[in-house]
Amino acid sequence: MIQIDLENEEVMIEGPEGQERHALASREAFEIISDAWLRCGWDNKYVYSFTWLGRPVIQMPEDMLRIQEVIARVKPDLVIETGVAHGGSLVFYASLFKAMGRGRVIGIDVEIRPHNREAIESHELFPYITLFEGSSIEPSMVKEVSSQIHPGEKVLVILDSKHTKDHVLAELEAYAPMVTPDSYVIVEDGCMEMMAGAPRTEADWSWNNPIAAIEAFVASNPDFAIEEPEFAFNEGNVTKRVTYWPKGYVRRLR
């Protein structure tokens, strides 16, 4: 249980180790309230309320801002994203590439609904986007996507399709080798672990989730490590992302 006392400017949390009190101005209070806000946002389907340049994008705004910081630093020539849905995230990466004067994005989805395909293909940023329809882990799809990488291109991969442990692990095995050193494979929706038990979740989410896949992958692939990208700017007190992608940044070390 948490209590937020705005008058006395403190937050109280009742945990297994008893009651903790934190000043509202503390980093701890911010993290406690943020975790509660993420869970409340889940129950209210908050992420299903945003668009980017006209296309619905199913993401937390902070996650978009933070991934923008990473893309601005890494400057990939190619982003490969699994999981297209309405295409908002593809349009978002395309808009960054237009602004940066470099880069393009490949989107893969098992089903691109006709109205979504039409809207993406008629978008002014479609010249930056290539769509592939089919399962991301089909060997023929992996081969096709791999063949799109030009020699010397810097590649960043984003996994946002089916979020079961097995599927994400198969995607990591297939797509992480395409990532160039010092770039990332970014695995979305590790928040499933902390949402277990909430509405619209499955009983197995506590273990059958992207974080389980990430941990299994890095344990057997020493060229990759879970690594939080540093904030590009920080004059505040907060040092942790408020995110649906905990442990999601997997950097290729070499």
Q: Which residues bind ligand SAM (CB under 6 A)?
A: 57-59, 82-86, 88-89, 108-111, 135-136, 160-162
CA-based nearest residue to 247, from 191, 167, 207? 191
Minimum gap (Å) between residue 133 Cβ and ligand SAM: 9
Enter the tokens of residue 30. Answer: 């911010």
Q: How far is the CB of 127 from ligand SAM (least distance, A)?
A: 20
Whole-angstrom distance, CA of residue 83 vs CA of residue 30: 31
Cβ–Cβ under 8 Å, residues 148 and 106? yes
Least distance in angstroms from the C-beta of 139 to ligand SAM: 13
- What SS3 state is found at 98? helix
Give the whole-angstrom CA distance, residue 205 versus residue 226. Answer: 20
Closer by beta carbon to ligand SAM, 32 or else 105 = 105
Query: Which residue in this structure is represented by tokens 């908050």?
Result: 46
| Residue 21 C-beta: closest distance to ligand SAM, Å | 38
- Minimum gap (Å) between residue 135 Cβ and ligand SAM: 4
Q: How far apart are CA 125 and CA 90, in angstroms?
A: 9
CB 143 to ligand SAM: min, Å: 15
Q: 161 or 243: whose CB is closer to ligand SAM?
A: 161
Comparison of 13 and 179: residue with beta carbon closer to ligand SAM = 179
How many CB atoms are closer than 10 A to CB 147? 8
Radius of gyration of the chain (CA): 19
Measured over the CA atoms of residue 54, residue 59, residue 63 and residue 67, the dihedral's sign is: negative
Residue closer to ligand SAM by CB (options 136, 209) is 136
Nearest Cα to 217, choosing from 251, 181, 182?
Answer: 251
Smallest distance, ligand SAM to C-beta of residue 56, A = 7
Of 116 and 180, which CB lies nearer to ligand SAM in the complex structure?
116
| C-beta closer to ligand SAM: residue 58 or 70 | 58
Q: What is the DSSP string of 53-95?
A: TTEE--S-HHHHHHHHHHHHHH--SEEEEE--TTSHHHHHHHH
